[in-house]
Amino acid sequence: MNRLFPNSSFGVDRILVVDDIPDNYFLLQTVLEEEGYQVEVAENGRCALDKIESHPPDLVLLDVMMPGMNGFEVTRRIRQNSQLPFIPILLVTGYTDVTSAEGFEVGADAFIHKPIDFDDLLSRIRTILPPKDKIEPLA
């Protein structure tokens, strides 16, 4: 068994995209899958937390402004759950009055604004998730 990556197939990173607008998560899912990532989606914070707790992804791409539980609260809950492994979180927002500092305060690893520059997004993801084929699994 590969203990470094217990939640995903060796060589494929799993990304959970969380957004309450189907067009947004569909676009992100399409772009990320074309880049070779395995993508799951969640339409709200509660659904995201359920998926993360049952099968932690390698990275969460999380919209900040969602009804019910916003991205800051989802991030806070992920970071407070000692049963979860460390999961990198990229917060995404279309609002200009939301600052990166707010995201970092709750435990996010990166922050990007909409409209998303996909080259920038993919560059950030590659920085956060090193290629798995370059990492030796534990024996």
pLDDT the model gives residue 107: 85
Dihedral Cα 100, 84, 123, 103, nearest 10 deg: 0
pLDDT the model gives residue 81: 95
> 97, 71, 67: which is closest to 17 by C-alpha?
71
Q: How many CB atoms lie within 10 A of CB 68?
A: 11
Instruction: Classify residue 69 as left (phi > 0), alpha (psi -120 to 50) or beta.
Output: beta
Instruction: Write out the two tokens for 80.
Output: 């407070």
Q: Give the separation between CA 101 and CA 106, rounded to whole angstroms.
A: 9
pLDDT the model gives residue 93: 84
pLDDT the model gives residue 103: 65
3.40.50.2300, 3.30.565.10, 1.10.760.10, 1.10.4160.10: CATH of 14-98+109-127: 3.40.50.2300
Residues 28-80: pLDDT tens digits? 999 999 999 999 999 999 999 999 999 999 999 999 999 999 999 999 999 99
Residue 67, CA distances (Å) to 14, 45, 47 in order: 25, 8, 12
Residues 82-135: pLDDT tens digits? 999 899 999 998 876 665 566 667 888 988 888 999 999 999 999 998 766 554
Q: Is the pLDDT of residue 139 over 90?
A: no
Q: Is the pLDDT of residue 2 over 70?
A: no
Q: Is the pLDDT of residue 8 over 60?
A: no
Regarding predicted confidence, which is higher, 1 or 109?
109
Helices (H) and strands (E) in the chain, counts: 5, 5
pLDDT the model gives residue 4: 38
